[in-house]
């Protein structure tokens, strides 16, 4: 028998988290181009404060925070819900958004002595839209409303790819759009089948009603495949490298750090919350096998790249693969198996540390390309000595990706390795170790170039703002500091489960 869902004391914060960036979008249409940038200086810190308030409310209450929209409880209405992973995801999103906004002020500012340009206004509006879409995605508890949030996220992310208006970036955006639309159709078809079978799309109600019948499994499979296309998991990754590498540096940071994580978050919601117990051993192993292939193929392709942003893009494909080890290793979470909780914590720490470090890495690569006029790896010799803060940001974020202690990436991969040993699934441990070696190969290859000497003297560099360098460095430091969190804090990720 399901219990009545009611709004909690801090539930209004969930509505505010979604609507505050929307308010920024609406105000952007009635202000000047230069006013949008000033508007962002208000929207970003206030949005960060809302995310912190939600996290505190969840932590202090020890339970999910809920807002029942229109006071109509599911299944007649919809509800917003913030559990531990939702609150942590919102805080990570807010940190990356604020750092990206600070970084973008150098690239998407309206010069005072020139006519107002269109691209800066478009960028800030898209940034607000991505933030609102991500918050709606992590707070939603209805499969159709999650689809709406997912589409908002997609249609805000695609224009970021072609913001420069170049031929290759437009082609990359169209390819991204094609994969995203196919994924959306598959997800929506699966959701329609679920509604036809159970008469509701509320995740909480579905968790009580779903049965392991063929129609439900087919619907879940369709939704999962559609979301895998949006997550760019191998072999559905073909759109990601040109899209992420061709976008401007702030856009690449948002796409790699946050946007692809949204669809992964939804896959977890489907299998662990909406349909607990339906994830079979074979299905979990298949998802992990695709993740393992992504780690190995993405790492190998990253080693072969000649451009720095392309290398980072292929690294994203590899690092996404680690997230899918959650499915075979944390499958016993609902049964209270201890090592499933370890895998659960390790998987989410991998997501958070990758978001922070990859955003920092794309920002550092953007500054290097801006200073040199290119990002060809073979011609980066000596740039690290001229841009030491940028090089430090790239190095710290790279060490977190490799899994060097005491970074957040090290703790995440260590917990995943520990879970593989306890589960007796040693084959995933082998992939994690090999993936770390591949990551070390391409990260230290770039660091060697940055710190090495150039065959020819470097030409005069374009000026790089110290503020933008510090924005990248702050994210890299946050990725390292994740490794110092006490393990007791992992209990927070279990709130609402």
**Lowest-confidence region among 44-58, 88-102, 402-416:** 402-416
Distance (Å, whole) CA 131 – CA 136: 9
Angular region, 290: left φ>0, alpha ψ -120 to 50, beta rest: alpha
Mean per-residue pLDDT, 368-376? 84
80: which strand partners? 67, 140
In the block, tokens 């000595």 appear at: 385
DSSP for 428-458, written as a single string:
HHHHHHHHHHHHHHHHHHHHHHHHS--SSPP
* pLDDT value of residue 334: 61
Mean per-residue pLDDT, 383-411? 89
Mean per-residue pLDDT, 435-459? 82
- Strands 65-68 and 79-82 come out as antiparallel
* pLDDT value of residue 31: 81
**pLDDT higher than 70, residue 454:** no
Distance (Å, whole) CA 429 – CA 417: 6
User: Which run of H or of E encompasses 82?
Assistant: strand 79-82
Question: What integer best gives the mean pLDDT of the chain?
Answer: 88
Q: How confident is the model at residue 336 (pLDDT cuts 50, 70, 90)?
A: low
Q: CB neighbours of 232 closer than 8 A, spacing ≥ 6?
A: 179, 239, 240, 260, 316, 317, 320
Q: How confident is the model at residue 2 (pLDDT cuts 50, 70, 90)?
A: very low
pLDDT tens per residue, range 55-73: 999 999 888 899 988 888 7
* pLDDT value of residue 337: 66
* pLDDT value of residue 62: 85
* pLDDT value of residue 387: 85
Taking Cα atoms as reference points, which of 426, 418, 264, 432 lies closest to residue 341? 418
47, two tokens = 């949005």
Each domain of the chain, given as residue ranges in start order, spans 1-141, 150-278, 280-497
* pLDDT value of residue 383: 82
DSSP for 126-154, written as a single string:
HHHHHHHHHHHHHHB-BHHHHHHHHHHHH
* pLDDT value of residue 114: 64
């Amino acid at each position: 028998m399901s219990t009545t869902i009611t709004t909690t004391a801090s539930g209004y914060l969930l509505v505010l988290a979604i609507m505050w960036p929307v308010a920024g979008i609406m105000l952007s249409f009635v202000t000047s181009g230069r006013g949008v940038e000033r508007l962002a200086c208000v929207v970003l810190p206030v949005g960060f404060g809302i995310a912190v308030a939600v996290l505190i409310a969840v932590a202090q209450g020890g339970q999910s925070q809920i807002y029942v929209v229109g006071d109509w409880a599911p299944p007649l209405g919809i509800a917003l819900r913030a559990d531990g992973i939702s609150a942590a995801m919102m805080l990570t999103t807010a940190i990356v958004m604020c750092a990206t906004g600070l970084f973008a002020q150098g690239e998407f500012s309206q010069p005072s002595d020139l006519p107002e340009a269109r691209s800066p206004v478009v960028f800030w509006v898209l940034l607000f839209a991505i933030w609102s879409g991500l918050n709606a995605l992590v707070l939603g508890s209805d499969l159709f409303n999650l689809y709406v949030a997912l589409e908002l996220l997609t249609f805000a992310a695609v224009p970021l790819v072609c913001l420069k208006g170049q031929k290759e970036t437009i082609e990359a955006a169209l390819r991204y759009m094609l994969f995203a639309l196919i994924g959306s159709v598959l997800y929506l078809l699966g959701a329609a089948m679920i509604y036809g079978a159970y008469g509701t799309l509320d995740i909480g109600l579905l968790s009580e009603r779903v049965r392991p019948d063929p129609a439900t499994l087919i619907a879940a499979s369709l939704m999962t495949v559609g979301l895998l296309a949006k997550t760019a998991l191998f072999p559905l990754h073909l759109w990601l490298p040109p899209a992420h590498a061709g976008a401007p540096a702030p856009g690449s940071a948002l796409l790699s750090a946050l946007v692809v994580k949204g669809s992964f978050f939804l896959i977890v919601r489907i299998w662990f919350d909406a349909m607990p117990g339906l994830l079979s051993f074979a299905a979990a192993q298949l998802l992990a096998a695709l993740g393992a292939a992504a780690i190995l193929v993405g790492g190998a392709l990253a080693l072969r790249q000649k451009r720095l942003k392309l290398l980072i893009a292929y690294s994203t494909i590899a690092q996404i693969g680690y997230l899918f080890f959650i499915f075979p290793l944390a499958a016993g979470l609902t049964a209270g198996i201890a090592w499933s909780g370890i895998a659960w914590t390790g998987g989410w720490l991998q997501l958070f540390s990758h978001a922070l470090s990859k955003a920092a890495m794309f920002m550092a690569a953007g500054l290097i390309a801006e200073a040199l006029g290119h990002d060809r790896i073979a011609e980066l010799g000596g740039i690290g000595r001229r841009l030491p803060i940028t090089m430090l940001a790239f190095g710290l974020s790279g060490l977190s990706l490799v899994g060097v202690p005491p970074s957040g990436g090290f703790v995440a991969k260590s917990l995943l390795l520990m879970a593989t040993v306890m589960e007796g699934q040693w084959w995933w441990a082998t992939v994690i170790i090999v993936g770390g070696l591949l990551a070390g190969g391409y990260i230290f290859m770039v660091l060697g170039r940055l710190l090495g000497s150039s065959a020819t003297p470097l030409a005069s560099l374009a000026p790089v703002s110290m503020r933008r360098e510090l924005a990248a460095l702050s994210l890299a430091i946050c990725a390292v500091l994740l490794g110092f969190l006490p393990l007791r804090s992992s209990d927070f990720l279990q709130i609402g489960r």
